[in-house]
Amino acid sequence: MSQEELNRQAFKEEAQDLLGELENALLELEESPGDADLIDRVFRAMHTIKGSGAMFGFDDIASFTHDVETVFDRVRNGEVAVGRELLDLTLAARDRIQDMLFETEGEDRDPERSKAILDGLRRYLGEAEAAPTPEAESPAESGDEESRFYRIRFKPPEDMFHTGGNPVHLLDDLGELGPCRILANLEEVPWLGECRAETCYAWWDVILCTTAPEREIHDVFMFVEDESELAVSPIAEPEELEGDQYKKLGEILVERGDISADGLKRALSEQKRLGEVLQESGLASAERVRSALAEQEAVQEIRGRRKESEAASSIRVAANKLDDLVNLVGELVTVQAQISQKVAAKKDPALTALAEELERLSDELRDSTLGIRMLPIGTTFSRFRRLVRDLSVELGKEIELETSGAETELDKTVLERMGDPLVHLIRNSIDHGIEPPEARREKGKPETGTINLSAAHSGGEVVVTIEDDGKGMDPKALKAKAVNRGVLSPEADLTDKECFNLIFEPGFSTAESVTSVSGRGVGMDVVKRAMDELRAVVEVDSVPGRGTAISIRLPLTLAIIDGLQVRVGGEHYVIPLALVEECVELQAQQVSGGANKRIIDLRGEIVPYVMVREWFEVPGNPPPIEQVVVTSTEWGRVGLVVDSVIGEHQTVIKSLGRVYRDVEGLSGATIRGDGSLALILDVPRLVRSAAQEAQR
């Protein structure tokens, strides 16, 4: 049993006794209605049931008992006389509590009856004593992370020690809220002879710098606030003096009310240090001047510290410096790979240890360098708000942009290069997707259309989705148009997905009329090309009348990836490690069976595979035992058959240039440890092309 249940159990047992006691007292009270002792017993029993009930979660009982208790409070104070009817009602109330407690686990399942009893009892209540309003949780003050300065003057009651309090504890508590400077004021401490040891003469000025709301400062003094002199005031920081000089001594003293503005003027007219003048003239005591000076010092000091930490928290660096850094790291990684390869051949333990250390360092250096370049995608999102607003006004549409996943991080270069394509896609949604308000109303949709822009991590990729609830696209209409425009031959047999992809064909436009926003048939193919350059995969999904969703799968970075190096004939390839699930051997019998039966049985799961040797037309014969690298793609697991697997390899991606753009299945190249070249496989595209080919 949990402690809570134990407590509830204890309460039930106790309540049983109390209800018995209540019954007895009520019955005795009938005999002698004026007996103050009996009334007290009744009241106390009610009070305990209510108080403890609320504490152990019997809220219905607590609120029910409240009114009964209030009536007996009035009886106790002589405002209401005990009569037959009151006793009947109270006994009924007692039975009601008993029922609630033991029949229904504390729940009030018969509110009608409770209400009848309470209505009867309410007649004995004074006018303003209705049911208690449950104490509303004070809403947490909005967490203002900005730290603020507070000036706190705390003068405890002289007899604070007599109530078991200790001002030092409270000052300690203040210290836990943030850096503070505490100054004791001892000007009221009498001469030793008159001093009483148990009296608190001292009081304190505290300068506190805290992010906590002012309420929390007051909470520290909760138990003594009524008896103490307590002043908490936020210190306004003069902005124009930022970092320079804090307020002058005279200002502080006037703000604190320690001297008057007049006094200050008088004192200033003498040409001496203000503090000395004030003390000599008796305008302010030495203690108070010292305390004000301490505030000056404390604020300046804490502010200095705060500035330092702010300065350390971020620096701005020119973007090209970062690019240079990444290039250098890339070269370092390549050299490191070369060293590792040489060392491995030498089999010298000392050298091996050094090479491994170098590898670890270059790995970490690579990760942190690439990490620096990661930016939240939200920075691009914000500019779309304006775009949506302006365009929808221009087109007379009502559109709301919703964004999510703004904190998803992407490489800076990827972000920069996808900005324009995203603008184009959103423009398209606004122009072609979302219908004008009247058309939407007719279709029974809300007049305001919604475009949802979201970003999320998914494996080694980031998926950005643009989704609208507009009119959607009809695959047949798209196909007809493509045929019409001469983009597609009339005989072509396309799936819906392929039809949607037609919008990316050069010279294809879905808009019936050309508007100022889009519809000239340029754009979508530009988007597609930009995405290809980013090695991104674009997918379109649409339901006529319901809306269109375009999702873009982006690689996290364009610079360096972890790759698995494999060999096919004399060629080396790299498969992005994030996509690799496992490597298995290809059994000879699985190879036979023709092009249409290229599947392996992976622990009962059927996994199709692609022969890399055939795909890239690598000359020569495969070895007797080939390897299958199982990758995870959007179509599920797909195997890539290679001659042998060499191992993990840090891959600095070099682009292949325009000549190779149309080679399906390659995304770039990298330099191997020995200086030769390895091609990086674009697994998703390779698999897709292979799948299309197999279907034909």
Residue 412 CB, nearest approach to other proteins (Å)? 46
Q: Whose Cβ is closer to other proteins: residue 227's or residue 498's?
A: 227
Interface with other proteins by CB under 8 A: which range of 25-33, 39-47, 383-391, 575-583? 39-47
**What is d(CA 533, CA 540) in angstroms, rounded to the nearest whole number?**
18
Q: What is the DSSP secondary structure assignment for residue 654, as one 8-state letter?
A: B
Q: How many helices (H) and strands (E) does the chain have?
A: 22, 21
Residues in the chain: 696
Q: Count residues near other proteins (CB under 8 A).
A: 31
Q: Whose Cβ is closer to other proteins: residue 12's or residue 266's?
A: 12
Residue 159 CB, nearest approach to other proteins (Å)? 9
Active-site choice (66, 428, 571, 572): 428
Q: Are 100 and 64 in contact (CB under 8 A)?
A: yes
Asked if 498 touches other proteins (CB under 8 A), the answer is: no
Instruction: Name the residue type at position 658.
Output: R
Interface with other proteins by CB under 8 A: which range of 44-52, 236-244, 374-382, 385-393? 44-52
Active-site choice (69, 287, 461, 626): 69
Asked if 659 touches other proteins (CB under 8 A), the answer is: no
**What is d(CA 155, CA 150) in angstroms, rounded to the nearest whole number?**
16
Letter string b/e over residues 337-360, b meaning 16 or more CB atoms within 10 A of that residue's CB? bebbeebeeeeeeeeeeebeebbe
Residue 138 CB, nearest approach to other proteins (Å)? 13
Asked if 134 touches other proteins (CB under 8 A), the answer is: no
Active-site choice (21, 47, 301, 501): 47
Question: Judged by CB under 8 A, which of 19, 38, 48, 547 binds other proteins?
Answer: 48
Structure tokens at 433: 């997707």
Interface with other proteins by CB under 8 A: which range of 6-14, 208-216, 519-527, 598-606? 6-14
Q: Are 571 and 679 in contact (CB under 8 A)?
A: yes
Question: Could you tell me the CA-to-CA distances from 563 to 28, 135, 195, 333, 405 in Å, in that order?
Answer: 90, 61, 81, 13, 28
Q: Whose Cβ is closer to other proteins: residue 55's or residue 625's?
A: 55
φ, ψ for residue 152 (rounded to 5)? Answer: -120, 125
Interface with other proteins by CB under 8 A: which range of 42-50, 315-323, 402-410, 661-669? 42-50
Q: Whose Cβ is closer to other proteins: residue 10's or residue 456's?
A: 10
**What is d(CA 139, CA 351) in angstroms, rounded to the nearest whole number?**
64
Residue 20 CB, nearest approach to other proteins (Å)? 14
Question: Judged by CB under 8 A, which of 169, 218, 305, 476 binds other proteins?
Answer: 169
**How many CB atoms are closer than 10 A to CB 169?**
10
* Residue 320 annotated as catalytic: no
Residue 467 CB, nearest approach to other proteins (Å)? 44
**What is d(CA 409, CA 573) in angstroms, rounded to the nearest whole number?**
28
Q: Whose Cβ is closer to other proteins: residue 44's or residue 654's?
A: 44
Letter string b/e over residues 74-107, b meaning 16 or more CB atoms within 10 A of that residue's CB? bbeeeebebeeebbebbbbbbebbbebbeeeebe
Residue 348 CB, nearest approach to other proteins (Å)? 59
Q: Whose Cβ is closer to other proteins: residue 46's or residue 552's?
A: 46
Number of C-alpha atoms within 13 angstroms, CB side, residue 379? Answer: 11
Asked if 63 touches other proteins (CB under 8 A), the answer is: no
User: E strands within 391-495?
Assistant: 399-404, 409-411, 449-458, 461-468
Question: Judged by CB under 8 A, which of 23, 33, 47, 541 binds other proteins?
Answer: 47
Structure tokens at 142: 């909005």
Question: Judged by CB under 8 A, which of 216, 227, 541, 581 binds other proteins?
Answer: 227
Instruction: Name the residue type at position 8.
Output: R
Q: Whose Cβ is closer to other proteins: residue 219's or residue 539's?
A: 219
Q: Whose Cβ is closer to other proteins: residue 130's or residue 354's?
A: 130
* Residue 484 annotated as catalytic: no
Which of 471, 490, 468 is closest to 479 using CA atoms?
490
**What is d(CA 572, CA 679) in angstroms, rounded to the nearest whole number?**
7
User: According to CB under 8 A, which residues from 136 to 165 bind other proteins?
Assistant: 161-165
Q: What is the DSSP secondary structure assignment for residue 624, as one 8-state letter?
A: S
* Residue 14 annotated as catalytic: no
Residue 101 CB, nearest approach to other proteins (Å)? 12
**What is d(CA 20, CA 33) in angstroms, rounded to the nearest whole number?**
19
**What is d(CA 192, CA 401) in angstroms, rounded to the nearest whole number?**
74
**What is d(CA 367, CA 44) in angstroms, rounded to the nearest whole number?**
69
Q: Are 647 and 678 in contact (CB under 8 A)?
A: no
User: Which residues partner with 449 through β-bridges?
Assistant: 399
**How many CB atoms are closer than 10 A to CB 628?**
24
Q: Are 566 and 678 in contact (CB under 8 A)?
A: no
Question: Judged by CB under 8 A, which of 55, 81, 344, 354 binds other proteins?
Answer: 55
Structure tokens at 291: 């305390």
Q: Whose Cβ is closer to other proteins: residue 54's or residue 602's?
A: 54
| Helices 412-428 and 524-533: angle between axes, nearest 10 degrees | 160
Interface with other proteins by CB under 8 A: which range of 46-54, 84-92, 177-185, 240-248? 46-54
Q: Whose Cβ is closer to other proteins: residue 198's or residue 244's?
A: 198
Residue 9 CB, nearest approach to other proteins (Å)? 9
Residue 48 CB, nearest approach to other proteins (Å)? 5
Residue 686 CB, nearest approach to other proteins (Å)? 59
Asked if 201 touches other proteins (CB under 8 A), the answer is: no
Instruction: Name the residue type at position 9.
Output: Q
Q: For residue 574, what is the enclosing H or E element?
A: strand 571-576
Q: Whose Cβ is closer to other proteins: residue 4's or residue 280's?
A: 4
Question: Judged by CB under 8 A, which of 222, 315, 345, 350 binds other proteins?
Answer: 222
Contact mark string toward other proteins, 11..30, x via CB under 8 A: x-xx----------------
Question: Judged by CB under 8 A, which of 28, 30, 33, 44 binds other proteins?
Answer: 44
> Which residue ranges make up the site for other proteins (CB under 8 A)?
3, 6-7, 10-11, 13-14, 41, 44, 47-48, 50-52, 54-56, 62, 132, 161-166, 169, 173, 222-223, 226-227
Which residues belong to the active site? 47, 69, 428
